Structure 1
């Protein structure tokens, strides 16, 4: 990797770059990311001003290595725990247990380390093999003779035979996508030891394929008892190959840039979906769809149909055991630990409560991250004609482990039962 100037920007921070630091190709890639709302790029009289939003991670440009650090709520040493929790992947081993040092940015090296850990485990257990059809020219008959090829290409000569074999090999898509991901990971890491380990283990996997082909193969993959142990390795591979875009978390289509970026609001939504579902399960709760017939739809506006959909709609046991109560929950990646809930969010949550909860007990829940411990408060929205609803605001202390946070949310859920 050529030497690049490292530029660090905190979440929602900015940095000024000279014109000479960005090539025309860099500007094109940054403009594409700007169009997706991942960062801001403004031209100034002296250069370019980069503005980070709620996207964190690493972006490798031609002359600059841009590191966008999480500053808002998810600390760097906990980011991987929450990411693994949202994806349903095994938590990686603690960095201290490895023999390399993680760089200050942590994120890119940690994802690469998580992939390496899973690939090492697969090698120890033995890579999966499956039957692969091959055609080759051999001096002896093995498999089946390709009569048509033998007659048309060898003209009856029998010194070499065109044969078809069907053997169990490791050169299958489950393994090939990992070889591609290991190559991509080695280009993003800064630790020499980690880079060397990635290169070494990549040699044990079949020949890598282009990243686009590997992503298409991952999208087609269906897991059975035969390849279920590959799921975690494929999760980290997909994250690296998409540059941070994960199905149901973030998909940046048409954005070509070398890096590993993660949109924190999308990650937080994925965290909250699993968090409240896990927390509700001991109370007999479960998540239910909030789209289709259960969705909130707006029609009649110049032919445009729009919809409101909470991030999670919980079905919980009611006081009457014969019925179940619905509870809308929305994830907000905002500083609601430092300032009040905005009017726009109050209106949104009141709409959810009116749609899904009974008139005598209108309620909805906001879940936001906070740097300290957990917090709970209830907003009461009143009008001249009486109570409009209650909005329960849960602050999740992201310095804690996700499982601890889920246990706390489970203890608070009874407070939201009216």
Structure 2
């Protein structure tokens, strides 16, 4: 990897770049990322101004290496724990303190993939039957009579055969080989690069990263390949450059990097927090695809629909009734300023659409480093109380398990 100038900044922070630090290809890639809301690049008289939005990670360009550290909500030493919680995968041993050097988040994810691949090798790679056609000096498997007659014209010095053998060259292993190769291009640690290079040879590779992603999207887990799920989770994160199914969406950007959108991560965290918190009390999350969204008819264009990030079905005081509670994830500093009017209108609409008329309530969950917090907003009109909005600040310095227990005690 060629030497690149290190540029470090935190989310929502900016850094100045010289004119010659960005190539035309870099500018195109940064503008593509700007269109996705990851960062902002503006031209100045003597250079460039690069500003990170709610994004953390690593971006490898032609002449510079950009490291964006988490600053606002989730501290660096807890980022991997919360990410693993949102993805439903075991917390890797790489969930250490955020590095202030040029490795950072990318090396943590690469290390998590390395850890899982080493475990798979110790347990033994999965093998499956693979059909192949080959030209052999002796008969193995079945003789391909048609190919032998049309290609060898009766000669028997080489035989066209069809075999059906158990091999490790299957898609479960190919996607890991491709992800290990992608991790090599991102890491800046010699020790990690050496370990990744050493293990990459043990896994076959997919023809292209796109082919590996398509294979991951159609993978179904059974008892035969269930142990591959954690490794595939980290592989998907690396191959998508930070995106993951139901967490971020890959838009085909070609820049080498591993960028994580923090609002999308927080939404995934809140969905699992709420689901896990109400489970012991008889509650459950309402699936998003069951057609219970709030719809708007009669406007120009198509009918629009919207729904909260999480809709919980909770047992009521009357055992014959259940309550629908809308929960929305807000990646905002609601520990420092009041809830915006737009968010109050949004949550009041949710409570009116889902909650019972005599108990209209909704929940906002936001990150609050340093301690849990709870406050209650009362929405009133000329005729009295219209609804209640519970604003819950989750302590991101704590472990996800402790946050789950606190959310459960509040929602109960």
> What interval of TM-score do these two structures reach, taking the shorter chain for normalisation?
over 0.9
Q: Is the 8 A contact 2:80 2:95 kept in 1?
A: no
- Structure 1 residues 235 and 386, CA, compared in 2 at 3 Å: closer, same or farther? same
Equivalent residue number for residue 153 of structure 1: 151
Residues 152-189 of structure 1, C-alpha deviations (whole Å, 9 max, x = no match): 22111112211111100001110011011001111111
- Structure 1 residues 35 and 95, CA, compared in 2 at 3 Å: closer, same or farther? closer
Q: Which runs of 5+ in 1 are unaligned?
A: none
Q: Is the 8 A contact 2:183 2:238 kept in 1?
A: yes
TM-score (norm 2): 0.97
Equivalent residue number for residue 118 of structure 1: 116
Alpha-carbon distance in 2 for matches of 1:298, 1:216:
35
Q: Is the 8 A contact 1:186 1:195 kept in 2?
A: yes
1:14-413 paired onto structure 2 within 5 Å = 14-94=14-94, 103=101, 106-289=104-287, 293-413=291-411
Residues 99-144 of structure 1, C-alpha deviations (whole Å, 9 max, x = no match): xx88465211110010001000100000000011111111111110
- Structure 1 residues 338 and 218, CA, compared in 2 at 3 Å: closer, same or farther? same
Equivalent residue number for residue 9 of structure 1: 9
Residues 165-223 of structure 1, C-alpha deviations (whole Å, 9 max, x = no match): 11000011100110110011111111111110000011111245311111111111111
Residues 210-244 of structure 1, C-alpha deviations (whole Å, 9 max, x = no match): 11111111111111111111011000000000000
Alpha-carbon distance in 2 for matches of 1:161, 1:268:
59
Q: How far is 1:359 from its partner?
A: 1.9
Q: How far is 1:290 from its partner?
A: 5.1
Question: Is the partner of 2:57 in helix, strand or coil?
Answer: strand
Q: Is the 8 A contact 1:177 1:217 kept in 2?
A: yes
Alpha-carbon distance in 2 for matches of 1:299, 1:70:
41
Q: Is the 8 A contact 1:177 1:209 kept in 2?
A: no
Question: Is the partner of 1:205 in helix, strand or coil?
Answer: coil
Q: How far is 1:356 from its partner?
A: 1.0
Alpha-carbon distance in 2 for matches of 1:162, 1:383:
83
Alpha-carbon distance in 2 for matches of 1:291, 1:152:
54
TM-score (norm 1): 0.96
RMSD of aligned Cα (Å): 1.5
Q: Is the 8 A contact 2:60 2:66 kept in 1?
A: yes
Question: Is the partner of 2:81 in helix, strand or coil?
Answer: helix
Alpha-carbon distance in 1 for matches of 2:22, 2:135:
52
Q: Which runs of 5+ in 2 are unaligned?
A: none
Between stretches 125-134 and 300-309, larger displacement belongs to 300-309
Q: How far is 1:385 from its partner?
A: 0.9
Q: Is the 8 A contact 2:236 2:244 kept in 1?
A: yes
Number of equivalent positions: 411
Q: How far is 1:303 from its partner?
A: 2.5
